[in-house]
C-alpha cells in the first residue's frame, strides 16, 4: 500500500471514529510551498458529510493521523486544508526502492493483454516530408513509447498514400520535363526530386489555365480541360487498369521517394513495425459494405450508391460506395482497420495520429466500425493535433513553399552550433564530437518545443527560441542532464550501495517527491495520449534539481553519508530525465 492509499484509509477511519460518518473519497493535493507539509487533505470537500468547523475537523483528523500512522510526523491546518508532514524515513525508503529500480516508471505488458496499434506519418509519395509531418511523427512515435512504458504492447504503423491523381501529376511532369534524370544522376534526394516535379506540374497547369482563359474559357472551364490535367487523369486510369509502362514508372518514382523517406525517418529518430500501402488497401472494405447492406447498417440509393445514415447519432449521411461501385476513402479506412486486426489478432485498439481537420471523418469511421459489430471499435482514438505555423506564414506543397523536414533539421543543428559558439561551451571537443552534439541539441530543441504543447493546440514554431539554453526548452533540460553527469564523474567513491539514513534537507525532500511522480505521470500521459505531460513533468523535475543544486552542497558535504546520498539523488534524477526524454524520442548528451 502506498502512502496516499494509507492516508486515504486512515482519514476515512478517523472520520468514522470521530464523527460516525462514512466518506466515499478523500481529496488530496500537493502542499503549497509556503506551508510546512508534504501532502494536503482538502477538508472543504468533506463538509457535505462531516458537519462542523473545517479548521477543527482538520485538527481532529490530523491528531488521529499522528497517533495511528507511523509515516506522519506533524501537521498544520490552514483554513480548510490539512497539511501533513511525512517522516524522513518514508522518503528514504521510497528513494531506496527507486534507486534500485533501473526501470522505475515503466511497466512490462502482461502476456495476454491486448495490444494497441498507433498510426502516424502516412505521407503522400509525391513530395518530401515537411514541418506538419514532423509534428505528426513526433506525436505518434512519442505516444507509442509512452503507451509501451505504461504497460501496453504497441505496434507502430503508417499507411503510405502511394496512389491517386497527385502521384500521377509528379509522374507526368517528370515524363515531360525530366530528361531521364534520377536521384543518382542529380545528387538530389529521391523524395525531393519527385516533389520538384509536383511543383513543376502545378506551374505548367497554371500556365495552361491562363492560356485557356485568354482564348475565352471561364476559369472553372479552364481548370477542368487543361491538357496537362486531362493527361494526368488518363494516366491514373491507365494505372488502375494495370498498364505495364505506367505501373513501372510508378514503381520507380515511388522507390525514389521511399529511399528519401527512410533517410528522413532515420534522422528524425522514428521507426515503424508495419507499413501499409494505399495501392494495396484501396479495394479493402467493399466486402464489409456488402455485409452491412445485409444487416441494415448501410442502404442503397436509386442510383446504386451505398450510404450509412448516421443522423440519429447526431452526424450526417455518409457515402461508402459510389454508384459505379468504386470505393471512397471511408470504405478503404474501414477495410484497413479490419485488415490490421486480422494481421495482428492481439490488437484491441488503434490510435490514429491525424490533423484536426479530419475530426469528423474519424467520428464517422469509428461509429460505422462499431455498427458493423467489431468490439475493438470501442478502443479507437483520433489523436487530433493542430497545425504548426512559422513566423513566415502558411505552407503550400503545390507552390513549393513548404518547410522541408530535412532542411528544418539541418537548420536546427546550425542554430544549435551558432548559439553554442556564442556561449563558448565546447572547448576541447573534436569537430566530429561537436557536429554530433549540435545534431542532438538541435533535434532535441525541435522535438521538445513541439511536444511540450498540448497536441490539440496550434503551434507557432520559432527555431531560435526553441534552442534557448534557459527556460522551458530541450537544451536547458539536456544541459542539466550533462551537469549531473559531470557531478557523477567527479564522485571519487562508490555510491551504488544501499541508501544510508540521513536527515533530509527540504530541497532533497522536494526532489524525491518530484521523482516519485514519474510513474503516475507516465500513466496519465498514456491515458491522455499527451507527450506534453511528460515534457512538462521533466521541466519541473529539472527546475527542482537546479534549486537543490544551488542550495545544497553535493560533493562538498561534510558528512560522507550525506555526500553519498546527494550523489545517489543526482544519479536518480539524471536517470529519470533520460528515461522521460526517451519517451519523447530525445537524446541526452553526457557533456555539453
Q: Where are the alpha helices (DSSP H) in 296-358?
A: 329-343
Of 36, 63, 86, the residue that ends a domain is 86
Buried b (16+ CB within 10 A) or exposed e, 538-567: bbebbebbeebbeebebeebeeeebbbbbb
Report yes or no: 577 and 511 within 8 Å, Cβ to Cβ: no
Q: Determine the pLDDT at residue 401.
A: 53
Report yes or no: 522 and 105 within 8 Å, Cβ to Cβ: yes
CATH number of the domain where residue 411 is located: 1.10.730.10
* pLDDT tens per residue across span 125-163: 999 998 889 999 999 999 999 999 999 999 999 999 998
- One domain for residues 455 and 552: yes
Report yes or no: 178 and 243 within 8 Å, Cβ to Cβ: no
Return the DSSP state at 413: H
**10 Å Cβ neighbour count for 369?**
20
Q: Determine the pLDDT at residue 498.
A: 84
Sheet with 154-160: list strands edge to edge.
274-277, 154-160, 115-119, 347-355, 380-385
Q: Determine the pLDDT at residue 396.
A: 46
149 assigned to some structural domain: no
Domain with 549 in it: 405-583
Is the alpha carbon torsion for 112, 114, 120, 126 positive or negative? positive
Q: Determine the pLDDT at residue 392.
A: 65
Is the alpha carbon torsion for 96, 101, 106, 107 positive or negative? negative
For residues 318 and 289, give the distance between their C-alpha atoms in angstroms, rounded to a whole number. 12
Q: Where are the alpha helices (DSSP H) in 20-126?
A: 54-68, 88-99
Return the DSSP state at 282: T
- One domain for residues 80 and 191: no
Longest pairwise C-alpha distance within the chain: 95
Strands 81-86 and 72-78 come out as antiparallel
Q: Determine the pLDDT at residue 345.
A: 96
Looking from the CA of 62 toward its CB, the CA atoms found within 13 Å total 25
Q: What torsion, rounded to 10 degrees, do the Cα atoms 255, 260, 266, 267 define? A: 180
Q: Determine the pLDDT at residue 418.
A: 87
Of 244, 276, 308, the residue that ends a domain is 276
Return the DSSP state at 170: H
For residues 59 and 44, give the distance between their C-alpha atoms in angstroms, rounded to a whole number. 13
Structural domains counted in the chain: 3
Q: Which residues of the chain have pLDDT under 70?
A: 1, 392-402, 425
- One domain for residues 168 and 62: no
531 assigned to some structural domain: yes
- One domain for residues 79 and 180: no
Q: Determine the pLDDT at residue 461.
A: 84
Spatial CA neighbour of 582 closest among 440, 381, 412: 440
Looking from the CA of 539 toward its CB, the CA atoms found within 13 Å total 20
- One domain for residues 522 and 412: yes
CATH number of the domain where residue 23 is located: 3.30.1360.70
Q: Give the angle 479-269-359 at the CA atoms, nearest 5°.
A: 105
Strands 115-119 and 154-160 come out as parallel
Q: Determine the pLDDT at residue 81.
A: 97
* pLDDT tens per residue across span 480-519: 999 999 999 999 999 998 888 899 999 999 999 999 999 9
Amino acid at each position: 500500500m502506498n502512502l496516499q492509499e494509507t492516508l486515504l484509509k486512515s482519514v476515512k477511519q478517523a472520520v468514522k471514529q470521530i464523527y460516525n460518518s462514512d466518506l466515499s473519497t478523500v481529496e488530496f493535493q500537493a502542499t503549497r510551498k509556503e506551508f510546512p507539509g508534504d501532502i494536503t487533505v482538502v477538508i472543504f470537500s468533506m463538509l457535505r458529510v462531516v458537519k462542523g468547523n473545517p479548521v477543527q475537523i482538520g485538527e481532529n483528523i490530523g491528531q488521529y493521523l499522528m497517533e495511528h500512522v507511523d509515516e506522519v510526523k506533524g501537521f498544520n491546518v490552514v483554513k480548510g486544508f490539512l497539511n501533513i508532514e511525512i517522516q524522513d524515513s518514508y522518503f528514504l525508503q521510497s528513494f531506496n526502492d527507486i534507486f534500485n529500480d533501473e526501470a522505475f516508471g515503466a511497466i512490462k505488458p502482461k502476456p495476454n493483454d491486448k495490444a494497441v496499434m498507433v498510426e502516424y506519418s502516412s505521407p503522400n509519395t509525391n513530395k518530401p516530408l515537411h514541418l506538419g509531418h514532423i509534428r505528426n511523427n513526433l506525436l505518434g512515435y512519442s505516444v507509442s513509447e509512452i503507451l509501451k512504458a505504461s504497460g501496453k504492447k504497441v505496434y507502430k504503423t503508417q499507411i503510405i498514400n502511394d496512389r491517386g491523381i497527385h502521384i500521377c501529376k509528379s509522374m507526368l511532369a517528370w515524363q515531360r520535363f525530366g530528361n531521364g534524370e534520377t536521384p543518382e544522376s542529380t545528387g538530389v534526394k529521391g523524395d525531393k526530386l519527385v516533389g520538384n516535379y509536383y511543383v513543376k506540374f502545378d506551374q505548367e497547369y497554371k500556365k495552361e489555365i491562363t492560356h485557356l482563359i485568354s482564348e475565352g474559357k471561364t476559369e472553372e472551364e479552364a481548370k477542368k480541360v487543361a491538357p496537362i490535367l486531362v493527361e494526368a487523369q488518363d494516366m491514373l486510369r491507365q494505372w488502375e487498369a494495370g498498364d505495364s509502362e505506367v505501373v513501372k514508372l510508378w514503381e520507380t518514382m515511388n522507390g525514389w521517394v521511399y529511399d528519401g523517406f527512410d533517410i528522413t525517418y532515420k534522422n528524425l529518430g522514428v521507426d515503424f513495425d508495419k507499413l501499409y500501402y494505399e495501392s494495396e488497401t484501396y479495394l479493402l472494405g467493399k466486402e464489409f459494405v456488402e455485409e452491412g447492406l445485409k444487416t441494415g447498417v448501410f442502404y442503397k440509393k436509386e442510383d446504386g450508391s451505398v450510404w450509412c445514415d448516421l443522423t440519429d447519432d447526431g452526424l450526417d449521411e455518409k457515402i461508402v460506395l459510389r454508384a459505379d461501385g468504386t470505393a471512397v476513402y471511408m470504405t478503404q479506412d474501414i477495410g484497413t482497420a479490419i485488415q490490421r486486426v486480422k494481421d495482428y489478432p492481439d490488437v484491441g485498439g488503434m490510435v490514429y495520429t491525424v490533423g484536426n481537420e479530419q475530426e469528423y471523418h474519424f467520428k464517422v469511421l469509428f461509429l460505422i466500425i462499431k455498427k458493423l459489430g467489431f468490439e475493438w471499435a470501442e478502443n479507437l482514438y483520433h489523436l487530433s493535433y493542430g497545425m504548426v505555423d512559422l513566423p513566415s506564414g502558411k505552407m503550400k506543397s503545390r507552390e513549393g513553399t513548404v518547410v522541408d523536414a530535412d532542411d528544418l533539421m539541418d537548420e536546427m543543428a546550425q542554430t544549435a552550433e551558432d548559439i553554442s559558439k556564442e556561449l563558448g561551451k565546447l572547448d576541447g571537443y573534436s569537430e566530429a564530437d561537436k557536429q554530433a552534439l549540435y545534431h542532438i541539441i538541435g533535434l532535441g530543441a525541435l522535438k521538445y518545443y513541439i511536444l511540450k504543447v498540448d497536441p490539440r493546440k496550434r503551434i507557432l514554431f520559432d527555431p531560435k527560441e526553441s534552442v534557448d539554453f534557459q527556460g522551458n526548452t530541450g537544451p536547458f533540460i539536456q544541459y542539466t542532464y550533462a551537469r549531473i553527469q559531470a557531478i557523477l564523474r567527479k564522485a571519487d567513491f562508490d555510491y551504488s550501495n544501499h541508501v544510508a539514513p540521513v536527515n533530509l534537507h527540504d530541497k532533497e525532500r522536494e526532489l524525491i517527491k518530484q521523482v516519485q511522480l514519474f510513474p503516475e505521470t507516465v500513466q496519465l500521459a498514456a491515458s491522455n495520449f499527451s507527450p506534453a505531460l511528460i515534457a512538462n513533468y521533466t521541466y519541473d523535475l529539472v527546475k527542482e534539481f537546479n534549486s537543490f543544486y544551488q542550495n545544497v552542497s553535493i560533493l562538498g558535504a561534510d558528512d560522507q553519508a550525506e555526500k553519498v546520498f546527494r550523489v545517489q539523488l543526482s544519479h536518480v534524477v539524471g536517470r529519470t530525465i533520460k528515461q522521460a526524454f526517451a519517451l519523447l524520442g530525445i537524446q541526452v548528451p553526457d557533456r555539453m
